[in-house]
Structure 1
Amino acid sequence: MANASDEFRVVSPGISHEGRLPRKYTGDGQGAKKDLSPPLEWYNVPEGTKSLALVVHDLDPQDPDGPIIPWSHWVVVNIPPTLKGLPEGFSGKEEEAGGEYSGIKEGVNYWKVPGWRGPKLPTPGHQLQAHRLEFRLFALDDELHLGNKVTKEKLLEAVEGHVLGEASFVAYF
């Protein structure tokens, strides 16, 4: 049996161990410290991985009486397996990052805009339970060719049959 230190995993050095999402990564931060994409690091990418893909979504429904549709906050595809992570504030800068980052593409989130959009704290009167934000990283045996408009739905459909490994963690807000 593989020992835990060998397993494919993803973490964020910007999110503490109890998992609360710091304010600067949410829609409730201030100025430049608002809607920053959190830093991510991953370990033990499975052998044969050609690309990584990331989906970040809210596992809790916005409308407790409505259908459970996880809102996507960030979709990223074609991350080279040679990278060890994404730096804080990477979202929206993939074009200028160049180099190893040049093939990475950010998809559109729930708000129909590309890149990271941090969650907002529930409005007053909304039930005050914490929401769970899941970060899911897929190790794939191929690059994804999803056209210009990458969405979470397209990504999840395209990875079928190509997943060599999956790693995830949950943060709360």
Structure 2
Amino acid sequence: MANASDEFRLVSPNINHEGKLPRKYTLEGQGAQRNMSPPLEWYNLPQDTKSLSLVVQDIDAPIVPWVIWVVTNIPPSLKGLPEGFSGKGEELGGDYGHVKEGINDDKVPGWCGPKLPNHGHRFEFKLFALDDELKLGNKVYSEVR
């Protein structure tokens, strides 16, 4: 039986255990950085992983779920995405240059920091280990419902 430290998992050093998204990753309020994506790290990829895909959703938005970020074709050689990665994959180069960001529910590519009408919104970060690279053409859309 595997213990919790051996499980495939996704974490963010900047998001606390209650899952509260720090204001700097939102669109409003003191300290908001607009469309800055949070840093993410993942561990213990399944053995035959060829690529990773990430979907971030606001599961308490008026239209549920509201897709904030879609990222795909993440090479398994990457162990995470740095803070502010959104929109900078090609600029960072290397394996980051292979990553594709999709069109979110705000109809723009990349991370779109949520506008929080009230406190207590929950955000769901889902990381998928895939056994192939997705063939998506030039645009990636958020139609993942």
**Both proteins in one fold, TM over 0.5:** yes
The residue aligned with 1:144 is 134
**Secondary structure at the counterpart of residue 95 of structure 1:** helix
**Secondary structure at the counterpart of residue 91 of structure 2:** helix
TM-score (norm 2): 0.92
Q: Does 1:58 align with 2:75?
A: no
Flag the structure with larger Rg: 1
Cα distance in 2, alignment partners of residues 12 and 74 from structure 1: 15
For 1:14, give the aligned amino acid: N
The residue aligned with 1:93 is 88
Which moved further from structure 2: 27-36 or 83-92? Answer: 27-36
Instruction: Give unmatched runs, 5+ long, in structure 1.
Output: 63-67, 123-127, 158-173
The residue aligned with 1:82 is 77
Offset of residue 32 of structure 1: 7.8
Offset of residue 129 of structure 1: 5.7
The residue aligned with 2:37 is 37
**Secondary structure at the counterpart of residue 135 of structure 1:** strand
Offset of residue 3 of structure 1: 1.1
For 1:12, give the aligned amino acid: S
Asked if structure 1 preserves the Cα contact closer than 8 Å seen for 2:26 and 2:32, the reply is no
Offset of residue 22 of structure 1: 0.8
Offset of residue 6 of structure 1: 0.5
Offset of residue 5 of structure 1: 0.7
After TM superposition, list the pairs within 5 Å mapping 1:129-168 onto structure 2. Answer: 130-153=120-143, 156=144
Instruction: Give unmatched runs, 5+ long, in structure 2.
Output: none
